[in-house]
Amino acid sequence: MFSNLFYKPVPLKTHNEQFELPDGDFIDLVWTEEKDSEPLIILLHGLEGSIDSPYVNGILKTINACGWQGVLMQFRGCSGRQNRLDRSYHSGDTGDINTLTSEIKKRYPDRDLAAIGVSLGGNVLIKFLGEQGKKSPFKVAMAISIPFDLSICASVLKTGFSRIYQRYLINSLSEKVRDKFKDKPAPIDLSKLDEWTDFFLFDNNVTAPLNGFKNVDDYYTKSSCKQFIKHITTPTLILNSKDDPFMNAAALPNEDELSPSVTLELTEHGGHVGFIYGSSPFNVKYWTEKRIAEFFRSQFN
């Protein structure tokens, strides 16, 4: 997500929807223009992503250019508006995508549904596909730069250059927590928020208790998507890079952990949600967008 330095967003014709959830909370959706009977693709963004993230714009632009319709599900509190409840979004939260998908199936019963998940959103998508198994509502799915094992990724982000990513994300998350509880009591003690500067500490003291987990180990164990891959029956492409600064080789699933319906495509280079190719930094092309078009066309046709 930090490799999009030269990306120039292309304006898209979109409309927004505040989608009410069963628990009284809401998520904000961004829809691309209506494509009648064409496939509809749900996009799940990464940690602290939104419609303003360049990679989100690029994926929605690709979906639109292929003649399909896209809808971005912005996780709770990620649209620029705080969600109503104390809880937040997290890497294992498959309830909201389940609710949204059920509603879309009611609205468009005759349209093919597909999904794309990026980073945290990819972890959520893979976990959801594994939980659903043969009941999956999607004809096809794709996950990009997913963490696989949250504990390993949290360890990697404490080392070397990866600490820059960790600092950026923790600062963003901490600022959001402060804003959420500036005018109402927090259900957790935030007096040491500035000291929770790595993901183990932040997730143990903020993410886990706000979202009903016992502690960080409980959260990571239940939410890591690797354990769900073998249960997937939806044709799914996972695109990851070997030099992703969010993970290492130990996080990758082995062949026994892959479902026959899942293709794991590993590139030598690409970073985290980068996958830049082309001869000029001023005419950047993104491998993810190319693979999205190729893979979904092969499945829809």
H or E element at residue 59: helix 54-65
C-alpha to C-alpha distance for 110 and 238, rounded to whole angstroms: 27
Which residues, in sequence order, are CB contacts of 239 under 8 Å at separation 6+?
Answer: 142, 143, 144, 145, 265, 267, 275, 287, 288, 291
- Dihedral sign for Cα 185, 189, 192, 198, please: negative
H or E element at residue 209: helix 208-210
C-alpha to C-alpha distance for 240 and 165, rounded to whole angstroms: 17
Q: Is 272 a catalytic residue?
A: yes
Catalytic residue among 79, 151, 203, 272: 272
Q: Is the CB of residue 142 less than 8 Å from the CB of residue 59?
A: no
Q: Give one DSSP letter per residue of 125-158, joined into a string.
A: HHHHHHHHGGG---SEEEEES--S-HHHHHHHTT
Catalytic residue among 79, 241, 244, 259: 244
Q: Is 45 a catalytic residue?
A: no
Closest CA to 129 of 120, 119, 140, 144: 140
Catalytic residue among 119, 162, 224, 259: 119
Q: For 199, left (φ over 0), alpha (ψ -120 to 50), or beta?
A: alpha
**Type of residue found at 287:** W
H or E element at residue 238: strand 236-241
Q: Is 93 a catalytic residue?
A: no
Just list the catalytic residues: 119, 244, 272
